[in-house]
Amino acid sequence: MRAISNLKLYFSNQYKSFKRSRFLLLIMLPGIIYYIIFHYVPMYGLIIAFKDFNIYDGIINSPWTSNYGFKHFLELFNLPIFYRILKNTVLLSLYTILFSFPTPIILALCLNEAKNKLWKNTVQTVSYLPHFISTVVICGMITNFLSLNGLVNNIVSFFGLERIQFLLYPKYFRTIFVISEIWQQTGWNSILYMAALSQVNPELYEACRIDGANRFQQILYINIPSIIPTAIILLIFKIGGIMNVGFEKVLLLYNPNIYETADVIGTYVYRRGILGAEFSFSTAVGLFQSVIGFILVVITNKIAGKVSEVSLW
Amino acid sequence: MVKGYNMKKANLYSVMFDVFINIILAMVVVVTLYPFLHVVSVSLSDPYAVMQNKVNFYPVGFNLNAYKSVLSNPYIWISYKNTIVYTVVGTAVNLVLTTAMAYSLSKKYLFGRKFFSIFTTFTLFFNGGIIPNYIIISKLGLIDSMWALILPIAIGTWNLMVMRNYFEGLPSEIEESAAIDGCNPVQVLVKIVLPVSKPIFATMTLFYAVWHWNTYFSPLLYLNDKEKYPLQIFMQQILITGETSFANTVVGIEDTNLLISNTVKYATIMVAILPIIMVYPFLQKYFIKGVLIGSVKG
């Protein structure tokens, strides 16, 4: 009897809560439908990675593949190109993190020391600008600056070196990609560090000064420790996103001459899937990428939670 | 005496430190702006001067021919108009859907709140990827429709979270007293919450509008009709491919030589980024707020 009345109470509470929030549920209904159609249905659509999808049979009726549905994955793992695109994806991300992670921190630390407000604001406004420029324009600038007659080659030839078509040589691609990422995102990524720095208690500086610390030591012992939690959170995001390298940018910059270093998982999926219409195979490639990415986010988040008590959830 | 000497030394150190810091900041400004300066200079220069690599910091042989050439192409106007339409409609859809959902999620008493939080947040970490999305969109018959660019990104999950955090931070007393006075939640939202949410709306408008303005991959996937191409596709064809019929119409078929196309390309860049450059400094204080609100709970 007790159990039943508890159950009754539970449902009547649920019903009251439902009744009370029916307006809220109503206005969020379009949002819920959006998430179902454009996020969860595509997730369901991932099952075509285990099928031989064709347009006529559709997602549900297309036949399962051999090897218990894993045919496309086995095919992928047996392709030499798989190891190339995996390596390129990971390396491009790692280099980007390695070189573009410290720059916003350095910028924020320097901005924090600038005394003139107008000058500080000017530097900030200017440094955020590239973030708002589209990938297409950025890549257009890169392509044209690096062309034989472009800005970079003008500089190269000023120093008496030979003009080079940089985008035709695999060895330059990663450098080009990373430098342009630094140029575009350093300012924007410094915002969160600036916020962390503005939270520092001014008394700390006073105490530090009395102890005889110079300004560099103040940065070392106060400012840097105060932005470490922010840095860790951002690093989690970056490492979790290793598999999603800025593939749109690669797509706009690369060409068959430099596939060796430039071709990443995303661009390969695009070529095989959209241009080649091999839907099932390329979905399998994409799924592989998503699963690894998801696992990485979970792991890095666990580690960060242990290390610093900061984590995403 | 000794003390005075130390003070001087400390002051000198501090001055040197300031100089060093400001040199770094000045370098950041120069490195960020120089590429733009170069683009402006080339776009305003005589093509022959560009060819001889004379143009570095300022226009040589000042003229506006490149801009005339860009603006006389009908496709830049068509694609510009398309981008404006997609941006305005898309941002409006974004704002309505995001606001409604964020407001609901911000209420502690929402039925199934925990479920809906996970339901939305999960999509930040896992998604169907390019191909399943492409299949869904073509099944919905959205190929070659502007809705293919708008509906699939109707809510940015990150922006949703930023907005929910903002609403959660609003004092609840006014809303509660309005509710006691008999306002339903929709009235509370429209009459009380929205008027105090201008900063977050400014931020969201900027983020979403820039997103639509800059998007390249969805139109590449979903649009085949030249008349529907947005600016970014047009730009890509001029700047990077540079040899399509598109580019030929800009440059003029007889003049497809490097000379003119370089200045024209750079002028195209300027025409495309000018609206953003002009608008964004005025919105800066808002978007910084937006980024920070989002980071509170992220």
Minimum mean pLDDT among A126-140, B18-32, B179-193: which range?
Answer: B179-193
User: Angle formed by the axes of helices A135-145 and B258-297, to 10°?
Assistant: 140
DSSP chain B: -HHHHHHHHHHHHHHHHHHHHHHHHHHHHHHHHHHHHHHHHHHTS-HHHHHTT--SSS-SS---HHHHHHHT-HHHHHHHHHHHHHHHHHHHHHHHHHHHHHHHHH-TT-TTHHHHHHHHHHHHH----HHHHHHHHHHTT-TTSTHHHHGGGSS-HHHHHHHHHHHHHS-HHHHHHHHHTT--HHHHIIIIIGGG-HHHHHHHHHHHHHHHHH--HHHHHH---GGG--HHHHHHIIIII--SHHHHHHH-GGG-SHHHHHHHHHHHHHHHHHHHHHHHHHHHHHHHHHHHHHHHH-
Nearest to A151 by CA among B47, B34, B259, B268: B34
Closest CA of chain B from A4, distance in Å = 22
Taking the CA atoms of A219, A222, A225 and A231 in sequence, report the sign of the dihedral they define. Answer: negative
**What average pLDDT score do residues A277-302 get?**
90
pLDDT given at position B145:
94
Minimum mean pLDDT among A221-230, B6-15, B120-129, B288-297: which range?
Answer: B288-297
pLDDT given at position B243:
43
The C-alpha atoms of residue A95 and residue A175 are separated, in whole angstroms, by 9
Residue A178 has pLDDT above 60, yes or no: yes
**What average pLDDT score do residues B178-202 get?**
82
Closest CA of chain A from B173, distance in Å = 18
With a pLDDT cut of 70, the percent of chain B lying above it is 89
Contact yes or no for B240 and A252 at CB 8 A:
yes
Tokens of A170: 């695999």
Candidates B16, B40, B103, B131, partner chain A, best to mutate (most A CBs within 10 A): B131
- pTM of full prediction above 0.90: no
Contacts A270 to B, Cβ<8 Å: 130
pLDDT given at position A308:
62
Task: Quick: pLDDT tens for B71-97.
Answer: 888 889 999 999 999 999 999 999 999
The C-alpha atoms of residue A39 and residue A34 are separated, in whole angstroms, by 8
Q: Is residue A147 part of a domain?
A: yes
Of A124, A214, A294, the CB nearest to B125: A294
Contact yes or no for A143 and B240 at CB 8 A:
yes
The distance in angstroms from the start CA to the end CA of chain A is 39
Sole residue written with tokens 């209420």: B107
Contacts B119 to A, Cβ<8 Å: 32, 35
Q: Is residue A264 part of a domain?
A: yes
A111: nearest CA partner in chain B: B25
**Contact (CB, 8 A) for B192 and B178:** yes
B101: nearest CA partner in chain A: A28
Residue A280 has φ and ψ, to the nearest 5°, of -65, -50
Closest CA of chain B from A272, distance in Å = 10
pLDDT given at position A94:
94
Cα A308 versus chain centre, distance: 22
Task: Quick: pLDDT tens for A180-195.
Answer: 999 999 999 998 899 8
Cα A149 versus chain centre, distance: 33
Contacts A289 to B, Cβ<8 Å: 129
Contacts B236 to A, Cβ<8 Å: 136, 139-140, 252
Q: Is residue A25 part of a domain?
A: no
Q: Is residue A22 part of a domain?
A: no
A154: nearest CA partner in chain B: B53
- Work out the pLDDT band at A287, boundaries 50, 70, 90: very high
Contact yes or no for A140 and B236 at CB 8 A:
yes
Q: Is residue A299 part of a domain?
A: yes
Residue A240 has pLDDT above 80, yes or no: no
Of B24, B131, B292, the CB nearest to A269: B131
pLDDT given at position A233:
78
pLDDT given at position B245:
42
A270: nearest CA partner in chain B: B130
Task: Quick: pLDDT tens for A67-81.
Answer: 888 999 999 999 999
User: Angle formed by the axes of helices B2-43 and B258-297, to 10°?
Assistant: 130
**What average pLDDT score do residues A102-110 get?**
95
Q: Is residue A47 part of a domain?
A: no
Range(s) of the domain holding residue A289:
78-308
pLDDT given at position B215:
92
Task: Quick: pLDDT tens for B240-274.
Answer: 775 434 444 444 444 444 445 788 889 999 998 88
**Contact (CB, 8 A) for A239 and A97:** yes
- Work out the pLDDT band at A216, boundaries 50, 70, 90: confident
C-alpha distances (whole Å) from B34 to each of A15, A138, A229, B106 are: 63, 14, 34, 44
Contact yes or no for A286 and B131 at CB 8 A:
yes
With a pLDDT cut of 70, the percent of chain A lying above it is 97
Contacts B109 to A, Cβ<8 Å: 17, 20-21
The C-alpha atoms of residue B91 and residue B100 are separated, in whole angstroms, by 14
3-state secondary structure A157-222: HHCCCCCCCHHHCHHHHHHHHHHHHHHHHHHHHHHHHHHHHHCCCHHHHHHHHHCCCCHHHHHHHH
Sole residue written with tokens 């399998």: A284
- Work out the pLDDT band at B3, boundaries 50, 70, 90: low
Closest CA of chain A from B4, distance in Å = 15
Contact yes or no for A37 and B134 at CB 8 A:
no
Contacts A135 to B, Cβ<8 Å: 214, 216
CATH number, domain of A230, equals 1.10.3720.10
**Number of domains making up chain A:** 1
Task: Quick: pLDDT tens for B203-248.
Answer: 899 889 989 999 999 999 999 998 999 999 998 888 877 543 444 4
Closest CA of chain B from A300, distance in Å = 13
